[in-house]
């Protein structure tokens, strides 16, 4: 296929400089602006509208499963954070502290929440007394602060938006089921709303969440061959419950500790969408989260009846999609470039000749295919084209991931692939932490996950040659 003409001139080509391309898209598509606090970002209305669509869809999925939304304070007393040793050690380097209230020094430092397990445990201790109080299925939409050294819009910032689920269960089996169920929710959301294929699996002990017994993840592959952790779900056992003295009376009238989970996704998903589907002209948004699914551009709008017909078409389409009529005095060419850069899935062109023929021209953002649609069939055809568009984005991303997934049977082979072929590397592992560390040191890759769908690439560890226990996905990551 011939390379398309570049409509948007102000975006760096991704082949030339992928990092610069990404930043250009974030700025030029008006997703973010830089804040006066280093490492923080302002999410502009168009970027926030994408997040609102993510939030709306995901929140509905959570509520279908019985989860309720709550809100916890943003401050955590230091003594509370210290109660779970592994947890506090895991977050200590990234914690921001409040030491003064007005001019007075606080008696105890307050942590600005990096995550809320400790707050939820402190609350559960007060409200869970009997087996009848379980399960507790809570979720929180909020912002968190982690004082990252290196930041990049959406992917890693010092303050970011997220959701964090926190649940409490009577048995380990129920808690484990919840952990895996929520990972499946994330995977389904990624594929059905973001058109983004993911690999589901478990993190190694080295990569698991601080204080968790097990961490599960969905991993996506970006355009440049780097992996992006796109959602995690954690099983805590009763460790946090014990540390925070959360107990209840079971059916046998015995005092026991409940089992806990947490799970979360963040505004990093917007970065994932940019780097999965975007191109040299800017954003390419999946229809489910696009703030504008269809942009109507009148052609020769000064001619009689064109604006009136475009308005009529817009009102008709409002019943089936998110539509915008652009009747500004900008030229059609400017509008084409603008909506291309903003990733609007479909553009409708409507001029005098189209009206005469009772049709319009529908242009797809992903491949610029032009489809002639009767004005009488818009309410059925537009949803069909949007569904086809979603499937095309998903299949293209899946094909690219498959083409950029390699198998390695030796350390030399893994290093050669890591140095020259961006993407996922599948390789066998003995389960030894030393080998995991050595692969990072020699090949520059980290373990992404132990996939649920296992298949043998060999029977020996790619690093040490001893008997292998699992096949892992490895790669360079954001």
Average pLDDT score, the chain: 95
pLDDT tens track for 352-388: 999 999 999 999 999 999 999 999 999 999 999 999 9
Q: Determine the pLDDT at residue 4.
A: 53
Span 78-101, average pLDDT: 85
pLDDT at 125 over 90: yes
Q: How confident is the model at residue 10 (pLDDT cuts 50, 70, 90)?
A: confident
Q: Which domains does the chain have, with CATH numbers?
A: 18-277 (3.30.930.10), 292-388 (3.40.50.800), 405-475 (3.30.110.30)
Measured between alpha carbons, how far is 227 from 4 in angstroms, rounded to an integer?
27
pTM assigned to the model? 0.95
Q: How confident is the model at residue 1 (pLDDT cuts 50, 70, 90)?
A: very low
Sign, CA dihedral 382-386-389-391, equals negative
Q: Determine the pLDDT at residue 2.
A: 41
Span 176-203, average pLDDT: 98
Span 315-332, average pLDDT: 96
pLDDT tens track for 196-218: 999 999 999 999 998 899 999 99
Better pLDDT: 211 or 124: 124
Q: Residue 122 forms beta bridges with which residues? A: none
Longest dimension (CA), the chain: 81
State the pairing for strand pair 136-145/104-112.
unpaired
Q: Determine the pLDDT at residue 87.
A: 74
Contact criterion met (CB below 8 Å) for 164 and 263: yes
Q: Determine the pLDDT at residue 83.
A: 83
Closest among 27, 50, 20 to 224, alpha carbons compared:
20
pLDDT at 242 over 90: yes
pLDDT at 308 over 80: yes
Contact criterion met (CB below 8 Å) for 310 and 350: yes
Contact criterion met (CB below 8 Å) for 258 and 169: yes
The fraction of the chain above a pLDDT of 90, given in percent, is 93
pLDDT at 477 over 80: yes
Q: Residue 141 forms beta bridges with which residues? A: 163
Span 431-444, average pLDDT: 97
Measured between alpha carbons, how far is 468 from 264 in angstroms, rounded to an integer?
31
């Amino acid at each position: 296929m011939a390379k398309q003409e570049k409509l948007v001139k102000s975006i760096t080509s991704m082949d030339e400089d992928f990092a610069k391309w990404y930043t250009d898209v974030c700025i030029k598509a008006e997703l973010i602006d830089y804040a006066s606090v280093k490492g923080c970002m302002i999410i502009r209305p168009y970027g926030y509208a994408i997040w609102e669509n993510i939030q709306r869809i995901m929140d509905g999925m959570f509520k279908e499963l019985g989860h309720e939304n709550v809100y916890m304070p943003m401050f955590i007393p230091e003594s509370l954070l210290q109660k779970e040793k592994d947890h506090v050690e895991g977050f200590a380097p990234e914690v921001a502290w409040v030491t003064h209230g007005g001019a007075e020094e606080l008696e105890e430092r307050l942590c600005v929440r990096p995550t809320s397990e400790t707050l939820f445990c402190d609350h559960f201790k007060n409200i869970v007394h009997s087996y009848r109080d379980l399960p507790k299925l809570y979720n929180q939409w909020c912002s968190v602060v982690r004082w990252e050294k290196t930041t990049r819009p959406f992917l890693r910032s010092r303050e970011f938006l997220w959701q964090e689920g926190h649940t409490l269960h009577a048995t380990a089996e129920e808690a484990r089921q919840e952990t895996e169920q929520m990972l499946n929710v994330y995977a389904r959301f990624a594929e059905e709303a973001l058109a983004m294929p993911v690999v589901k699996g478990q993190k190694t002990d080295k990569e698991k969440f601080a204080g968790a017994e097990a961490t599960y993840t969905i991993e996506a592959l970006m355009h440049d061959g780097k992996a992006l952790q796109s959602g995690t779900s954690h099983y805590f056992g009763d460790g946090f419950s014990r540390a925070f003295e959360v107990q209840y009376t079971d059916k046998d009238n015995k005092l026991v500790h409940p089992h806990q989970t947490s799970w979360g996704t963040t505004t990093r998903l917007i970065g994932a969408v940019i780097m999965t589907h975007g191109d040299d002209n800017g954003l390419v948004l999946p229809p489910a989260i696009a703030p504008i699914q269809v942009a109507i551009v009148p052609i020769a709008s000064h001619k009689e009846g064109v604006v009136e017909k475009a308005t009529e078409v817009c009102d008709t389409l409002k019943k089936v999609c998110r539509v915008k009529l652009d009747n500004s005095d900008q030229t059609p060419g400017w509008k084409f470039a603008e909506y291309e850069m903003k990733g609007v899935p479909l553009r409708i062109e409507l001029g005098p000749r189209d009206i005469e023929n009772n049709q319009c021209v529908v242009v797809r953002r992903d491949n610029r295919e032009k489809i002639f649609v009767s004005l009488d069939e818009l309410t059925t055809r537009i949803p069909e084209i949007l569904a086809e568009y979603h499937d095309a984005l998903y299949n293209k991303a899946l094909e690219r991931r498959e083409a950029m997934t390699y198998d390695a049977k030796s350390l030399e082979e893994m290093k050669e692939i890591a140095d020259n072929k961006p993407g996922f590397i599948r390789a066998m592992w003995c389960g030894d932490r030393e080998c995991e560390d050595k692969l990072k040191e020699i090949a520059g890759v980290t373990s992404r996950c132990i996939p649920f769908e296992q298949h043998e690439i060999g029977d020996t560890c790619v690093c040490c040659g001893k008997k292998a226990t699992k096949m892992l996905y490895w790669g360079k990551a954001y």
